[in-house]
Amino acid sequence: MKLADEYIHPGDIELTALEVGRDLLLLITGGVSHIGAASTAFLIGDQVEVLTSAVPHHKEHTLSEGIAHRIATALRRSVTVVMGIHYDDLTKEGIQQVVEIVNAKVEQYLLQQS
């Protein structure tokens, strides 16, 4: 019997960017795609603030807040990250694998913007 973790492939998790005027919308999905959380980061003077809305019993906000803050800080623009990633029966190692894949995709996106 295969564990759920064995099915996670970096290509299963997608980061899609959409320019919305001077702002940016990022959609990060994988496994069974859905909306688990949305975080918007915006500049107030030199500071970046983040507001988050999360669907009850979902954990994506633990990633979406930091990602929105990181990208808004790097690009100096408002950013909304909508995230929904679901795999059944993930172990702690599987969750860590998802986090690493998401962070690598965010880093790759930021490198493409410079």
Q: Which domains, ranges and CATH numbers included, belong to the chain?
A: 10-113 (3.30.230.100)
**Matching residue, tokens 């996106």:** 109
What gap in Å lies between CA 26 and CA 89, rounded to an integer?
Answer: 26
Handedness of CA 85, 90, 96, 100 (dihedral sign): negative
Q: What is the pLDDT along the chain (114 residues), one digit of tens a residue?
A: 344 556 688 899 999 999 999 999 999 999 999 999 999 999 999 999 999 999 999 999 999 999 999 999 999 999 999 999 999 989 999 999 999 999 999 999 999 998
88, two tokens: 């059944």
Instruction: Specify the pLDDT at position 62.
Output: 96
pTM listed for this prediction: 0.92
DSSP designation for 7: G
18, two tokens: 């959409």
Which phi and psi angles does 42 have, rounded to 5°?
-145, 160
